Amino acid sequence: MTFKETMCLAISNHQTGDRAPLDNEFCALGAHEAVNDYGHSTIRQNMRTVIVDYCRTPFHRAHRGELKDIRPEDLSSTVIAEIVERTGIHADSIEDVMLGCAYPEGEQGLNLGRISTYLSGLPNTVPGMTTNRLCGSSMQVIHTAAGSIAMGSGDAFICAGVETMSRVQRGGFNRSLHPTIESKYPDAYINMGMTAENLANRHQITRTSQELFAASSHEKAINAQNLGFFEDEIVEISGIKQDGCMREPNLEKMAQLKPAFDENGTVTAATSSPLTDGAAALLVCSEEFALANGLNPLASIVSTAVSGVPPEIMGYGPVPSSAKALDRAGLTMDDLGVIELNEAFSAQSLACMQDMGLNMDDERINIDGGALSIGHPLGASGCRITGKSASLLQRLQTDYALATMCIGGGMGIATVLERWN
């Protein structure tokens, strides 16, 4: 008996609890994918990775928004199931579900990626994993999927991200700092708001400019919502269809707010992304798989990059990561038609834009608003801005996009996309 036949027999005979034996069709149709010439993977360095579709739940403010009572597993499984339904792919063709989550404990623990496969209706032959790179978690799983495709370790991956900041507090439930790092390198645990203050000071970013940037984000998001640009990406959950973070900007009220992190500082609640609940997902696959299954991709992944920066200026991470990704793609900022820069804070975004040679009124940046207005559910934002970049390439019929974000602890992550023609 061959290895493949042995695996089929073992899997077909396996029963756990009230689960039925796996369908024999797995052996007839799917085993060659699941145990595909085990140990004989072919490296496909030139295999293009594409993004086929993207969706997300509405994003709502934590603790007082409409998603506060919905568990993270229900958020993530909703977008995963939606991606499968929209694309019409066979579940058995999914190599893995890769999920990003910044605080994978409590309700977000126990390998939330795997738990989400059960709730989304996928067969138990589809595995799941959870990745933590804090705010960059769900962009990281996109990079991981692209690397797996290039290595010949699968053709189709669901990449997702989730965070319910209402139900799992930022920093986790059992925060325990390493005593040596806490005493000798305390900035490793610095408050994120203080990193924004540090960048505001270093780059001489005024409070007024921060408030103008935040107001612009809300204006763009409200305009996009009114024009119906979010309808195709948002998946209804529990009767909730619209985002809940954006507000009509009022500069006079913004100016009256007290600083949020430093009594002598310039960063306020209005110029900080809100604590947010939400989930997002994409189908990431090989070009070959997309064509074979009659799928129309949104974009291909041209290059990826991560970088490290001092943790006390963690918001600066997009600058070196974007430079690295663009260099690998053989592109410059001038080649880009879409730039999605995650708005953790106004000060952080403006500092990055200064050193990336971008003006505050650059029309390519966060065209439909950013995290300041839409929200920033930490583990989901990487999928949101990458998926948004891909969909904007098609909507605007422009060639290249950059999605980039800062990451707590002093990191940046970036993805360069090319419109699929």
Question: Contact at 8 Å (CB) between 35 and 125?
Answer: no
Contacts of 116 (CB under 8 A, 6+ apart): 73, 76, 77, 80, 97, 99, 128, 160, 162
Helix (H) or strand (E) holding 402: strand 400-407
Q: Is 135 a catalytic residue?
A: yes
The gap between the terminal CA atoms of the chain, to the nearest Å, is 46
Strand partners, 279: 162
**270-to-215, 257, 370 alpha-carbon distances in Å:** 9, 8, 13
Contacts of 222 (CB under 8 A, 6+ apart): 246, 248, 369, 373
Strand partners, 407: 411
Instruction: Write the single-letter amino acid at 405.
Output: M
Question: Contact at 8 Å (CB) between 158 and 282?
Answer: yes
**Positive or negative torsion for Cα 372, 275, 392, 409:** positive
- CA-atom Rg of the chain in angstroms: 21
C-alpha to C-alpha distance for 22 and 40, rounded to whole angstroms: 25
Q: Is 352 a catalytic residue?
A: no
- Give me the catalytic one of 27, 101, 285, 406: 406
The residue assigned the tokens 């290249």 is: 400
- Give me the catalytic one of 101, 135, 245, 352: 135
C-alpha to C-alpha distance for 121 and 213, rounded to whole angstroms: 42
Active-site residues, by number, are 135, 376, 406
